[in-house]
A and B are shown apart, each in its own frame.
Chain A
Amino acid sequence: MDISDHNRNAIFERLLRPYLERLYRLAYRLTGSKAEAEDLFQDVLVKLFGKLEDLAAIEEPGSWTSRVMFHHFIDNRRRFARQRLLSVDESQLPQKSIESLPGVDDPEQDAERLDDIIRLGKALAELSDDHRLVVLLHDTEGYKLTEIQAITGDPVGTLKSRLHRARARLRALLSAGATF
């Protein structure tokens, strides 16, 4: 790809745009708050623009850009101080989030579901960072373990046992709340 000063912006946008949503979601899963996610996302975009030649040469930009974001987050973890992983306050939930959940159209079920989401957020906050990340990427975002390995560099076996422990811990935390 012929990259020159006058076409850098256009090439950057064309290469990166298909991965923006995935990157933003990863930023949110890593930081746990909209403000921090936006900071991390913007930082990484600036960083990626500086690596445009690498971006253009890479075979799997999705994994590579996610890896850049993960390592930037780890390197700057103190700056991206985790406030919460999930919104545990109703006012923090995105508008219409409950309505957008599939199969829910009953007010009582909505309330119950919101309660479940809040409890899940609290339970997730009890997990270690590693456990929380693997369960959110795998079970929530639908990443395969090999894709998580490509981002974090941890072996698949390690990730699998971490995932099982994270789920077991979540089940234990939630069942301690009786009715779950």
Chain B
Amino acid sequence: MMLCKQLNEKLDDYMDGTLDETEMAVLQSHAESCESCQQTLKSAQRLRKLLQDCPVPMPDAAYFDRALAQATRVSTSHQRNRWIMTGFGGALAAGLIAWIIGGVLLKTPDLPDSDASIPGVVIALEVPYTVNLVFSSATELDGAVLTVSLPPGVEIEGFAGQREITWITSLKAGKNILPLTLIATTAHGGELLARLEHDNRDRTFRIRVTVT
């Protein structure tokens, strides 16, 4: 019984082979003749084997290619467009602004808000169209998460086939612009959602996309 208790207490070290030689020999000898300890060891070995075999559903190799490509695209695009603290004149001069959501500050905001009415944009099938989202923020927001959800048949240039894209970004105090180049692949249209999250708070912007 004494050795049974000892084996139970030192089961991990016993199985890891980290006990000193004398103690190991004593416990081994005991285990050979003790049915209860044999059962304990068998269960422990079974658990280890199961843990070793715990599956991870691995994605295919193409997933890693896509993830790498998206990481560089998002970062590059992010650097290029980095929530430009505007900027309207510059953006207009560059011919980027096709449409703007006007930002309206809330009274006690950490997060910016948009107009209550749902703005809309009309785009032609298969013709790239750059929409500038303008966010006004009362304070600097570091580590904000922006998720853009697209209606069926509308894509963001460079992100073919993706209905939802997430950026991690920072907003400066004031106006911040995010240009998105939309391409309609079908005539459905629908609502584009831009969800901004920061510090456990979030705000969702809705944009009606009509395809002609």
A-B contact pairs, 14 of them (CB 8 A): A9-B72, A9-B76, A13-B72, A28-B57, A42-B71, A49-B71, A79-B197, A87-B57, A94-B55, A100-B55, A117-B54, A120-B50, A174-B43, A175-B43
> Interface size class for chain A?
35 or more
Which chain A residues border B78 with CB–CB below 8 Å? Answer: 46
Identify the stretch in B62-70, B112-120, B127-135, B175-183 within 8 Å (CB) of chain A at 4 or more residues: B62-70
Q: Which residue of A lies closest to B18 (CB)?
A: A160
8 A Cβ contacts from B42-80 to A: 43-44, 46-48, 50-59, 64, 67-68, 70-72, 74-76, 78
Counting CB contacts under 8 A, is A93 at the interface? yes
Counting CB contacts under 8 A, is A122 at the interface? no
Q: 0/1 per residue, B3-31, Cβ < 8 Å to A?
A: 00000000110000000000000000000
Counting CB contacts under 8 A, is A97 at the interface? yes
Which chain A residues border B52 with CB–CB below 8 Å? Answer: 139-140
Closest CB-CB distance, A51 to chain B, in whole Å? 10
Further contacts, 8 of them, CB under 8 A, given A24-B56, A49-B71? A20-B64, A97-B57, A116-B46, A120-B47, A164-B12, A168-B12, A171-B47, A180-B43
Q: Which residue of A lies closest to B78 (CB)?
A: A46
Q: Which residue of A lies closest to B75 (CB)?
A: A49
Counting CB contacts under 8 A, is B193 at the interface? no
Closest CB-CB distance, A167 to chain B, in whole Å? 6
Cα–Cα distance between A79 and B54 once the two chains are bound (Å): 25
- B: which residues have CB within 8 A of A? 11-12, 43-44, 46-48, 50-59, 64, 67-68, 70-72, 74-76, 78, 143, 145, 166-168, 197, 200
Which chain B residues border A71 with CB–CB below 8 Å? Answer: none
Which chain A residues border B53 with CB–CB below 8 Å? Answer: 101-102, 117
Cα–Cα distance between A34 and B59 once the two chains are bound (Å): 9
Q: Would A86 and B43 be within 8 Å (CB), given that A20-B64, A43-B166 are in contact?
A: no
Asked if residues A46 and B71 are in contact (CB atoms below 8 Å), the reply is yes
Cα–Cα distance between A16 and B67 once the two chains are bound (Å): 11
Which chain A residues border B200 with CB–CB below 8 Å? Answer: 78
Asked if residues A117 and B67 are in contact (CB atoms below 8 Å), the reply is no
**Which of B51, B56, B67, B143 contacts A135 (CB under 8 A)?**
B51
Q: 0/1 per residue, A61-96, Cβ < 8 Å to B?
A: 000000000000001001100000011000001100
Interface centre among A49, A78, A136 (most CB of B within 10 A): A49
**Which of A48, A87, A120 contacts B71 (CB under 8 A)?**
A48
